[in-house]
């Protein structure tokens, strides 16, 4: 078989095994790419399934809230027929929730995993929901029997038993869903990668085998050729009787045959040659030395005659340019020219050759392949003793490598490696030019500071590689939005700076910024992940917002932060007031420390009234900073800073003492009981000195039990519940009434509140606002009032501004109200006047 | 108009009140009373202050809400009056009332009432189960005792399940009386006979054996700071004068 193959032509010896192996490789490749395709399809299914399950979980969360609202509404409904309607909705919502429950999932393809943790959670969720529905059902049944009281107690127990658990499991499930998708994706990725490797391996081994065969065939040919060569050497050495056998009928065999015939003719010619040779030998020896030097020179050398026609080139030249001597002999070297060298350079060159007979410099020439390349040329003119030109000798060095290296260094210094945009350094120099140009031409510049929202989140959650890809894509989108003459730079992380140059006016800047926001906010696809990002843009204008680059950049940065504050995904122009705001904070920090000594704080008082009758029962003390320059500063602006720089303890102690002092003054003139409320910050609650401060203030001003109320936020108690309970108990023992300030932010924590010795809940103003906006939430909140009454707590609603709100709160038995509808916070004198007015109508009742 | 009156009256009244309160801070007591006794107890109070230098505040709510409010600390009062045994027991269990201080001077009766102008007639209790009656107003059984008694009567006579869909509850008895007075001809309400107003008339007296005996319970509150003043008033209410006022208001003072 092998022997028969050897008698085939060389073409066949190569092509037959090649086709065979090629077919096998092709089949392998097709097979494994098919598996790869299946993996990708499986991945797609996982995403779609995951998406559906996530959607269902969100549905469940939403409907559970609706179910809770309905069940609470059932409890507050007094007519049986309305209850039946609500009960029907409850049943429907319950069925919808159970329908949306996730089933056990089929395990992802190509993996052997143990039962996923999330299935356990699914089971738990179903169990928790069923128990919740069953026990809520009991409460609803009680409610339908008009046993509202018992129903409230049962429902509040059921809610605190199941709702946090259901929320917890649902969020666990959502988290697991995300993790599962990630795990499946990784598994499939590794399968896909493995397949890819196998496919590549088949390709490489197929190619290798082909090379091997080609090598074997060529090796056979060359061995025979070298035998032929040895034989032909023998012939050339004059041994015409050297033996030669022909052992195959392929091309080499035919060549052997031909050469044997040729050897005979050569033998004849040899005699004639022998004679000529003797003459030539003497000349050749001399020439050989020069030729060697010429031929073996590392530099490309080209020689032209006096008319500048090429007469010789060396091997190095051929290596460099690709031109053989035969290609260009007799031609003008002009044909080598690449066209990138200026006419001036050529003129200069000829002038130098004329006068000095030597020129060197850089030329851009073209290779035979058409590729342009820079070379260093040294040209000498050889003249005879009369000065007539004999030859031109030119030597060339290819300097493209050096050139490329130089260009790369240049690029690195001026451009951002990742995105290819300008870096900070060159941004500054380009901006400087732009500012100068704008100044000269009396034009404007717009500097846009672009920061990606949520970039850190994307980077952290999806990896740097994805983050980098995102930045590259953002860079290319930014470039698309701008003109060639505008400047785009990345100056760090996810921060980009755009400079719009040569503006006559800035009318079009908002439109452009809007376009950029739209373009950057389009979804991104990186490694099969689709996600959103959006920019926040701050804009400063030359010369309005600064006449140097530092100021322009700083101000656009400030404007960008303002855009972030405004809810991201928008653009903001720099204004002086922004600068003022950022300086203001520093200012406040400095002056806060001395403000107490300088007596710059002042307490204002806001009345709290009985829901029935609107008469005042208490005053909430609210601190204000009477700043000598800035005027009144509200607590929301300086309290967080005071907490940060630890002035809060002194400040808090002052507020408690001052409020008690004011109460003592009012007690002398009013006959009706009055309570004063003071806000405590989280740091104050956790402070060791709090109890002593309160005790001292109460003793000093003879404040009795129940006259001082301290308001704390729910979150303040949450950070260290044990300490909070201890502190609150001690305050309670002092006779201080305690209120939760921001109640309504976490419904399920009512069970937790039971553990605290509090007397009052203050309904957050946001929830009072909801009365006119979101009835569903408002109703949950109002049912909470009913539950709070069950715990024996008072309820105060804050921020009551309209009669609609007042009527709704009165209808739902809220005890006390506070807000602009009754009185805004006023200075002590005005508050005293309110109290006097209060006492008057009360007396009316008694005397009537 | 109201503001005008206030503007004119205010300085005058302020002067008068100043004169009235000047001799010294008058003692002040607060009563937490079941809604159904609100007007009667105010009448007793009015008679009491004729002879005593004292100011009386009244908190009229359903017995249950008052009990919970007092126990939770939202309400501070000196005397508590409940329209049922249940809520007084809730207070004694909570340690707010001493069991031996509890008295029960009066009782009451349940009637089925209708708007004064309603032509509706009710010959028998079971007529509540006919088409003539579309809505039945009762008190919230959870906190308002008159609702609890009504529900028990309806259950005892075996018609609760049939008439349940006609029920609408109200939080306290004055609210029920108001709402009933504004209702149509097919609405009735079950309430204490003492709470029938001019705008209502009785259709049917509920048999007292169908529910536990309706008794009121009164007790001074242990935590009260104005103990002496409160207990003097307590004795006055529990004494002959107080009972006479309640008797004339229609309460049963035989117990």
For chain B, which domains are there? 25-107+215-248 (3.40.190.10), 110-210 (3.40.190.10)
Which residue blocks in A712-774 are alpha helix, DSSP H? 714-718, 721-733, 750-753, 765-773
- Confirm if B45 and B58 have CB atoms less than 8 A apart: yes
A136-145, A565-574, A595-604: the lowest-pLDDT one: A565-574
- Confirm if A119 and A108 have CB atoms less than 8 A apart: no
Does residue A846 carry a pLDDT above 50?
no
| Distance of residue A794 Cα from the nearest chain B Cα, in angstroms | 5
- Do residue A35 and residue A148 come from a single domain? yes
- Do residue A343 and residue A388 come from a single domain? yes
Q: What is the pLDDT of residue A459?
A: 79
Q: Is residue A27 part of a domain?
A: yes
- Do residue A556 and residue A642 come from a single domain? no
Rounded distance, CA B1 to CA A719, Å? 54
Per-residue model confidence as pLDDT tens digits over A175-189 = 888 887 788 778 777
CATH number at residue A778: 3.20.20.450
Structural domains counted in chain A: 4
- Select from A344, A371, A404 the last residue of a domain: A404
Does residue B249 carry a pLDDT above 80?
yes
A623 closest CA partner among A651, A595, A585: A651
A19-23, A259-263, A815-819, B103-107: the lowest-pLDDT one: A259-263
Mutate to test the interface with A, among B10, B11, B17 (most CBs of A within 10 A): B17
B142: nearest CB among A149, A794, A847: A149
Which residue blocks in A237-314 are alpha helix, DSSP H? 251-296
Q: Per the CB < 8 Å rule, is A146 touching B25?
A: no
Q: Per the CB < 8 Å rule, is B13 touching A847?
A: yes
Does B170 contact A at CB distance below 8 Å?
yes
Q: Per the CB < 8 Å rule, is B74 touching A789?
A: yes
- Select from A536, A558, A574 the last residue of a domain: A574
**Nearest chain A alpha carbon to B170:** A78
Does residue A396 carry a pLDDT above 80?
yes
Within 13 Å of residue A847, how many CA atoms lie on the same side as its CB? 18
Q: Is residue A778 part of a domain?
A: yes
Rounded distance, CA A619 to CA A660, Å? 11
Which residue blocks in A538-647 are alpha helix, DSSP H? 549-565, 576-595, 635-644
- Do residue A141 and residue A32 come from a single domain? yes
**Interval A751-762 mean pLDDT:** 79
Strand B167-170, strand B135-139: pairing: parallel
- Do residue A114 and residue A157 come from a single domain? yes
Q: How many residues does chain A have?
A: 848
- Do residue A105 and residue A68 come from a single domain? yes
Can you say whether the dihedral through the CA atoms of B230, B235, B238, B244 is positive or negative? negative
- Do residue A625 and residue A530 come from a single domain? no
Concatenating the DSSP letter of every residue in A157-193 gives HHHHHHHHHHHHHHHHHHHHHHHHHHHHHHHHHHHHH
**Which residues of chain B does A144 touch, with a Cβ-Cβ cutoff of 8 Å?**
164
Rounded distance, CA A529 to CA A270, Å? 79
- Do residue A399 and residue A467 come from a single domain? no
Q: What is the pLDDT of residue B115?
A: 93
Give the residue numbers spanning the domain of A136: 21-206
Q: Is residue A847 part of a domain?
A: no
A691 closest CA partner among A655, A643, A653: A653
Extract the tokens encoding B234: 């307590």
Does B57 contact A at CB distance below 8 Å?
no
**Which residues of chain B does A840 touch, with a Cβ-Cβ cutoff of 8 Å?**
10, 13-14, 17
**Nearest chain A alpha carbon to B72:** A792
Q: What is the pLDDT of residue B10?
A: 38
Sole residue written with tokens 């409230």: A152
Q: Per the CB < 8 Å rule, is B74 touching A152?
A: no
**Which residues of chain A does B20 touch, with a Cβ-Cβ cutoff of 8 Å?**
843, 846-847
- Do residue A570 and residue A612 come from a single domain? no
Coil, strand or helix at B191: strand
Does B232 contact A at CB distance below 8 Å?
no
| Distance of residue B78 Cα from the nearest chain A Cα, in angstroms | 15
ipTM of the complex as predicted: 0.75
Rounded distance, CA A800 to CA A823, Å? 10
Rounded distance, CA B157 to CA A499, Å? 89
**Which residues of chain B does A792 touch, with a Cβ-Cβ cutoff of 8 Å?**
68-69, 71-74
**Which residues of chain A does B151 touch, with a Cβ-Cβ cutoff of 8 Å?**
146
**Which residues of chain B does A147 touch, with a Cβ-Cβ cutoff of 8 Å?**
141-142
Per-residue model confidence as pLDDT tens digits over A450-496 = 998 878 777 777 788 888 888 999 999 998 888 888 899 998 888 99
B36 closest CA partner among B61, B55, B15, B12: B61
**Which residues of chain A does B69 touch, with a Cβ-Cβ cutoff of 8 Å?**
789, 792
Does residue B111 carry a pLDDT above 90?
yes
B68: nearest CB among A706, A790, A844: A790
- Select from A186, A206, A226 the last residue of a domain: A206
- Do residue A381 and residue A431 come from a single domain? no
A337 closest CA partner among A292, A302, A312, A305: A302
A2-6, A602-606, A832-836, B43-47: the lowest-pLDDT one: A2-6
**Nearest chain B alpha carbon to A85:** B165
Which residue blocks in A415-540 are alpha helix, DSSP H? 424-441, 455-462, 464-481, 509-521
Cα torsion A16, A22, A23, A26 to 10°: value is -170
Q: Which residues have a Cβ under 8 Å from the Cβ of A632 and sit 6 or more positions away?
A: A624, A625, A626
Q: Is residue A732 part of a domain?
A: yes
Per-residue model confidence as pLDDT tens digits over A425-448 = 888 888 898 999 988 888 899 999
- Confirm if B185 and B120 have CB atoms less than 8 A apart: yes
**Nearest chain A alpha carbon to B57:** A846
Extract the tokens encoding A449: 């500071």
- Name which residue leads in pLDDT, A112 or A712: A712
Mutate to test the interface with A, among B42, B73, B137 (most CBs of A within 10 A): B73
Cβ-count burial A800-814 (b if 16+ within 10 Å, e if not): beeeebbebbeebbb
**Which residues of chain A does B143 touch, with a Cβ-Cβ cutoff of 8 Å?**
148-149
- Do residue A769 and residue A650 come from a single domain? yes
**Which residues of chain A does B13 touch, with a Cβ-Cβ cutoff of 8 Å?**
840, 843-844, 847
Residues 70-99 of B with CB under 8 A from A: 71-74, 76
3-state helix, strand, coil split of chain A in percent (to 5) is 60, 15, 20
If one counts every other C-beta atom within 10 angstroms of the C-beta of residue A280, the result is 11
- Name which residue leads in pLDDT, A564 or A621: A621
Q: Is residue A4 part of a domain?
A: no
A678 closest CA partner among A700, A703, A644: A703
Does residue A746 carry a pLDDT above 60?
no
- Do residue A438 and residue A336 come from a single domain? no
Does B105 contact A at CB distance below 8 Å?
no
Cα torsion B62, B65, B71, B74 to 10°: value is -110
Give me chain A's average pLDDT, please: 83
pTM: 0.46
**Interval A495-505 mean pLDDT:** 89
A147: nearest CB among B76, B141, B165: B141
Extract the tokens encoding B145: 């005792």
Q: Is residue A760 part of a domain?
A: yes
Beta strands in A680-767 (DSSP E): 708-712, 737-743, 760-763
CATH number at residue A305: 3.30.450.20
Does B133 contact A at CB distance below 8 Å?
no
Mutate to test the interface with A, among B72, B135, B140 (most CBs of A within 10 A): B72
Q: Per the CB < 8 Å rule, is A146 touching B14?
A: no
Rounded distance, CA A13 to CA A15, Å? 6
């Amino acid at each position: 078989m092998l022997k028969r193959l050897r008698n085939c032509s060389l073409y066949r010896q190569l092509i037959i095994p090649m086709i065979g192996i090629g077919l096998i490789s092709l089949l392998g490749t097709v097979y494994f790419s098919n598996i790869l395709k299946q993996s990708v399809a499986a991945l797609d299914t996982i995403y779609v399934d995951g998406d559906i399950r996530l959607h269902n979980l969100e549905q469940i969360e939403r409907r559970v809230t609706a179910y809770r609202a309905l069940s609470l509404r059932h409890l507050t409904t007094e007519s049986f027929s309305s209850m039946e309607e609500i009960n029907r909705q409850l049943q429907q919502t319950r069925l919808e929730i159970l329908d949306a429950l996730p089933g056990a999932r089929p395990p992802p393809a190509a993996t052997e995993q143990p039962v996923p943790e999330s299935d356990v959670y699914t089971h738990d969720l179903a169990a928790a929901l069923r128990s919740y529905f069953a026990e809520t059902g009991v409460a609803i049944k009680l409610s339908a029997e008009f046993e509202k009281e018992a129903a409230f107690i049962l429902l509040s127990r059921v809610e605190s038993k199941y709702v946090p658990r259901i929320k917890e499991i649902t969020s666990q499930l959502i988290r697991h869903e995300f993790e599962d998708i990630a795990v499946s994706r990784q598994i499939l990725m590794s399968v896909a990668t493995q397949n890819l490797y196998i496919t590549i391996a088949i390709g490489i081994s197929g190619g290798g085998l082909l090379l091997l065969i080609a090598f074997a065939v060529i090796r056979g040919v060359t061995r025979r050729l070298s035998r032929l060569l040895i034989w032909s050497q023998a012939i050339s050495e004059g041994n015409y009787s050297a033996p030669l056998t022909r052992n195959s009928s392929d091309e080499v065999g035919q060549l052997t045959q031909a050469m044997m015939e040729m050897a005979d003719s050569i033998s004849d010619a040899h005699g004639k040659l022998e004679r000529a040779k003797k003459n030539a030998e003497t000349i050749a020896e001399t020439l050989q030395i020069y030729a060697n030097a010429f031929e073996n020179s590392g530099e490309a050398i080209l020689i032209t005659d006096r008319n500048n026609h090429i007469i010789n080139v060396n091997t190095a030249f051929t290596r460099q340019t690709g031109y053989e001597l035969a290609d260009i002999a007799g031609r003008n070297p002009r044909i080598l020219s690449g066209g990138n060298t200026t006419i001036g350079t050529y003129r200069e060159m000829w002038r130098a050759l004329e006068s000095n007979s030597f020129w060197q410099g850089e030329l851009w020439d073209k290779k035979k392949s058409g590729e342009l390349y820079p070379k260093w040329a040294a040209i000498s003119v050889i003249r005879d003793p009369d000065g007539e030109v004999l030859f031109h000798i030119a030597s060339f060095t290819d300097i493209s490598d050096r050139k490329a290296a130089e260009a790369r260094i240049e690029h690195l210094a001026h451009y951002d490696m990742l995105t290819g945009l300008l870096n900070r350094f060159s941004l500054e120099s380009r901006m400087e030019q732009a500012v100068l140009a704008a100044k000269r031409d009396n034009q404007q510049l717009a500097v846009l500071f672009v920061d990606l929202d949520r970039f850190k989140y994307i980077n952290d959650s999806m990896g740097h590689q994805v983050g980098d890809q995102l930045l590259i894509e953002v860079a290319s989108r930014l470039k698309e939005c701008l003109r060639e003459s505008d400047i785009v730079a990345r100056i760090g992380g996810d921060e980009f700076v755009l400079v719009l140059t040569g503006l006559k006016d800035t009318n079009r800047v908002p439109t452009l910024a809007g376009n950029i926001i739209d373009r950057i906010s389009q979804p991104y696809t990186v490694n099969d992940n689709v996600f959103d990002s959006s920019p926040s843009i701050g804009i400063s204008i030359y010369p309005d917002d600064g006449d140097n680059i530092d100021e322009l950049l700083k101000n656009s940065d400030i404007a960008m932060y303002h855009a972030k504050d405004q809810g991201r995904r928008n653009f903001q122009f720099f204004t002086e007031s922004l600068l003022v705001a950022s300086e203001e904070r520093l200012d406040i920090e400095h002056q806060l420390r001395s403000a107490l000594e300088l007596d710059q704080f002042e307490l204002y008082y806001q009345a709290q009234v009985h829901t029935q009758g609107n008469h005042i029962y208490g005053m909430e003390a609210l601190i204000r900073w009477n700043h000598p320059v800035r005027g009144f500063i509200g607590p929301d602006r300086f309290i967080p800073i005071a907490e940060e720089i630890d002035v809060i303890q002194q400040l808090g102690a002052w507020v408690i003492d001052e409020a008690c002092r004011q109460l003592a003054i009012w007690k002398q003139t009013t006959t009706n009981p009055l309570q004063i409320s003071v806000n405590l910050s989280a740091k104050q609650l956790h402070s060791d000195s709090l109890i002593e401060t309160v005790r001292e203030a109460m003793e000093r001003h003879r404040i009795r039990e129940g006259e001082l109320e301290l308001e704390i936020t729910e979150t303040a108690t949450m950070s260290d519940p044990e300490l909070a309970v201890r502190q609150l108990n001690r305050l309670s023992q002092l006779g201080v009434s305690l209120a939760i300030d921001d109640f309504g932010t976490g419904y399920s924590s009512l069970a937790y509140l039971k553990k605290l010795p509090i007397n009052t809940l203050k309904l957050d103003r946001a929830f009072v606002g909801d009365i006119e906006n979101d009835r569903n939430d408002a109703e949950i909140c109002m049912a909470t009032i009913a539950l709070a009454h069950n715990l024996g707590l008072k309820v105060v609603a804050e921020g009551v501004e309209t009669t609609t709100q007042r009527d709704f709160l009165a209808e739902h038995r809220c005890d006390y109200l506070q807000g602009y509808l009754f009185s805004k916070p006023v200075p002590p004198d005005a508050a005293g006047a309110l109290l006097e007015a209060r006492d008057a109508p009360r007396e009316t009742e008694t005397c009537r | 108009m109201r503001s005008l009156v206030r503007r004119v009256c205010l300085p005058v009244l302020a002067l008068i009140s100043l004169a009235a309160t000047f001799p010294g801070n008058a003692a002040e007591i607060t009563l937490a009373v079941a809604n159904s006794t609100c007007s009667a107890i105010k009448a007793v109070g009015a008679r009491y202050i004729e002879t005593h230098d004292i100011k009386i505040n009244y908190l009229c709510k359903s017995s249950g809400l008052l009990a919970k409010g007092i126990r939770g600390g939202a309400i501070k009062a000196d005397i508590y009056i409940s329209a049922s045994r249940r809520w007084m027991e809730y207070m004694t269990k909570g340690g707010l009332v001493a069991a031996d201080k509890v008295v029960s001077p009066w009782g009451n009766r349940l009637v089925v009432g209708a708007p004064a102008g309603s032509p509706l007639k009710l010959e028998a209790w079971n007529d509540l189960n006919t088409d003539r009656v579309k809505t039945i107003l009762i008190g919230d059984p959870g906190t308002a005792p008159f609702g609890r008694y009504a529900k028990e009567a309806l259950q005892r006579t075996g018609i609760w399940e049939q008439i349940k869909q006609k029920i609408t509850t109200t939080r306290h008895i004055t609210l029920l009386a108001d709402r009933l007075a504004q209702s149509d001809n097919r609405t009735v309400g079950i309430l204490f006979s003492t709470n029938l107003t001019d705008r209502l008339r009785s259709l049917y007296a509920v048999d007292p054996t169908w529910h536990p005996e309706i008794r009121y319970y009164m007790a001074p509150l242990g935590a009260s700071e104005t103990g002496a003043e409160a207990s003097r008033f307590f004795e006055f209410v529990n004494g002959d004068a107080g009972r006479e006022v309640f008797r004339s208001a229609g309460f049963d003072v035989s117990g």
